[in-house]
Amino acid sequence: MGSIELIDDHGWIVSALNQPEMLERISEDGQKFKFNYSTVKKMADTGYMLGWVVDGQITGFYWIHPFTYSILQIHAHFPKQKRSQAKRSGVAMLQWLKNNVPSHYKRFIAMIPDCYEDVIGFSKREGLTHSGTIQQAAYRNGQCYDLTILGVDRESI
């Protein structure tokens, strides 16, 4: 089993995000960037960096930030070789949010390009349900994909 913990090791996050497989997974066509400590610090300063810790080791993390005053947006980042350890991390992360973020956040969402059926499936298994679609919003491998919006109300966690 694992646990959700606030991550203050920004160096670990920089290293995880800069793995070629991870950059490829989170980038749209034409995007070229590299994460550095100051970028990750800004990400952490605007929200929450929550690690999924298994046997004392961070195996993946969630970056969660405000989308609106009442909605937090979730981004999951698990290196390919650690994804099998991510099971039940979403439920634990949602419980952490329910118990720890200010009460004005009433809903938690994820926006996932349709080309990532595995991520959509994972998110649904962790309790998020379909909230909407933004058509033709993500470009991957020369193709335009819809963004599926999945979410859960705080009170239903």
Interior CA angle at 124 toward 150 and 144, to 5°?
Answer: 55
Q: Which amino acid is at 31?
A: Q
95-135, pLDDT tens digit by residue? 999 999 999 999 999 999 999 898 999 999 999 999 999 99
Distance CA 8, CA 39 (A): 14
Instruction: Quickly state the pLDDT bin for 25 (edges 50, 70, 90).
Output: low
pLDDT at 29: 60
Mind listing the domains of the chain with CATH numbers? Answer: 2-156 (3.40.630.30)
Residue pair 144/138 in contact (Cβ under 8 Å)? The answer is yes
pLDDT at 86: 79
Mean per-residue pLDDT, 41-54:
92
46 vs 41, 42, 57, 64, 134, CA distance in Å? 9, 6, 24, 8, 24
pLDDT at 155: 97
Instruction: Quickly state the pLDDT bin for 28 (edges 50, 70, 90).
Output: low
Supply the mean pLDDT for the chain: 89
